[in-house]
Structure formats: structure tokens, C-alpha cells
Copies of this chain bind each other. A is one copy, B any other.
Amino acid sequence: MKKIAVWGFRSVPAFAQGLVRDLRVRWALEEAGLAYESRFIGIEERHSDTYQRKHPFGLVPVLESSEGTLIESGAIVHAIAEHCEALMPSDRRAETLAWMFAALDTVEPPVWTLSVMDLQHRDEEWAKLRRPAAVDQVRVRLTALSEWLDGREYLLGRFTAADILMTTALRFIRHTDLVAGFPLLDAYVKRCEARPAFQTALRDQLADYARNEAVAA
């Protein structure tokens, strides 16, 4: 994989900085030791014909490389992991992918629902009525995940691509104390976020927003 470019948004509101899904791709690339360039679109350009030729749903991230164009953070992280034994051990590929799907399809949906409710609809009546049940649904998943992590430092024991997706999914509720309520889970997220590759990816994503905003000002 050569000449790598990662597409993200040029700028996002403060509450979303450090949450946008190109962070996952940046993190995986840092873990794999692959250099990349960041590219940007304005949120308002998402549904332009030009951008929709790159991403049919007008979303980020998109990965461009010598191997072609790829959409979906899960698929992109998997493609990077295929180049990196440390992210996906060759004898545990199916298991790694299963936990990648578990992060995105079992844990992220209730977490994302609560995140959107709190960060974008906090004062709306439906959100006030629904929030207690949404919190309960998050707790059901966090309880099971915390039990799984009892005796494991990472989802598969050792760090893999699945931890990149799980950690970034759990970050969507960083504005709550829900994860902190599960000490094993809290320690797990902090352990993942302490990795130099995560720190570099996050710093670079935030620095890009700051630079783009300075140019636009």
C-alpha cells in the first residue's frame, strides 16, 4: 500500500473533534507505520457529484492508495491490518474480524444513538423522553463487554485492529460517565488511548482542523 491519502472533514464543531471516523484510519496507519496525507472536504460538499463519485453515501473516511479507493472505516482498517501482522495476527484473522464487527454492529449502535441524542438533540422533547431507555441499552452492552475484558488486556488478549474500532466507538460517549462506571472497561479505553499511535493520530487530526480553520478565518 503506497501513496496513501485519507479523506476527512475540513472542520467540525468542537463537540465532534476527536470523534470523526477518519481518526480510526489515521490510528491504524500509525500502528502499521504507514505514511499518509490527509485530504479534506467541507461538510457541505458531501453530496456533490464530485465527492459522491469517491463515496456513494457522501461520508468520510475514504482511503485512496496504490490499491484503489476504499470506503467504510471498518473495511479500511481491515485493509490496513492485512498489511500488518501486529494489527491482525495471521492465525486469528476470523476472530479479529468478528470483534471488528462486534465493535461496529453490536457496541457502536446504542452508543452512537445516545451520542447523537445528547450532542445534537439534547433539548428536544423526544430525546428527554427516550434518554433513560437509551442509557439502559448502552449499559447492557458495556456490562457484557466489561465481563469479556475481565482477565484480558485487549479484546483478543493482545492488541489488534478490533481494539481501534472498539475504543473509537466508546469515545462517542466520552461526554458521559458511563464507561467510567465499569472500571475494567475504563482501564481498557485508557490503555488503548495511551498508545503512541493513537496519540499521534489524534494530535494530527486536531492539528489539521486548527490549520484548516486558520486558513478559512
* A109 at the binding interface (Cβ < 8 Å): yes
Is A207 engaged at the interface, CB distance under 8 Å to the other chain?
Answer: no
Whether A176 sits at the interface, judged by CB under 8 Å, is: no
- Whether the Cβ atoms of A98 and B71 lie closer than 8 Å is yes
User: Which B residues are in CB contact (< 8 Å) with A141?
Assistant: 57
A144 beta carbon closer than 8 Å to chain B = yes
**What are the interface flags for A72-87 relative to B under an 8 Å C-beta threshold, 1 for contact and 0 otherwise?**
1111101100000000
Q: Chain copies in the assembly?
A: 2
Assess A102 versus B57: contact at CB under 8 Å? Given A94-B75, A109-B112, A130-B126: yes
Q: Kindly identify, within residues 47 to 105 of chain A, every residue whose CB is under 8 Å from any CB belonging to chain B.
A: 52, 56-59, 67-68, 70-76, 78-79, 94-95, 97-98, 100-102, 104-105
User: Do residues B97 and A59 form an inter-chain contact, with CB atoms below 8 A?
Assistant: no
A interface SS class: helix
Q: How large is the interface on A (under 10, 10 to 19, 20 to 34, 35 or more residues)?
A: 35 or more
A104 contacts across to B, CB distance below 8 A: 101, 104-105
Contact of A97 among B58, B78, B112 (CB under 8 A): B78
Q: Decide if A136 is an interface residue (CB 8 Å cutoff).
A: no
CA separation between A45 and B217, bound complex, in Å? 58
| Residue in B58, B94, B148 whose beta carbon sits within 8 Å of that of A144 in the complex | B58
Interfacial chain B residues near A52, Cβ < 8 Å: 144, 147
Query: Within 8 Å CB of A75, what residues of B?
Result: 94, 97-98, 100-102
Count chain B CB atoms within 10 A of each CB in A56, A59, A141 and give the residue with the most.
A56
B contact residues around A130 at 8 Å (CB): 126, 130
- The answer for the CA separation of A109 and B94 in the assembled complex, in Å, is 24
Interface mask (A8-43 → B, CB under 8 Å = 1, otherwise 0): 000000000000000000000000000000000000
How far does the Cβ of A55 sit from chain B's closest Cβ, in whole Å?
9
A→B interface (CB under 8 Å): 52, 56-59, 67-68, 70-76, 78-79, 94-95, 97-98, 100-102, 104-106, 108-109, 112-113, 124-127, 129-130, 141, 144-145, 147-148
The 3 A-B residue pairs with the shortest CB-CB distance, nearest first, are: A72-B101, A75-B98, A126-B129
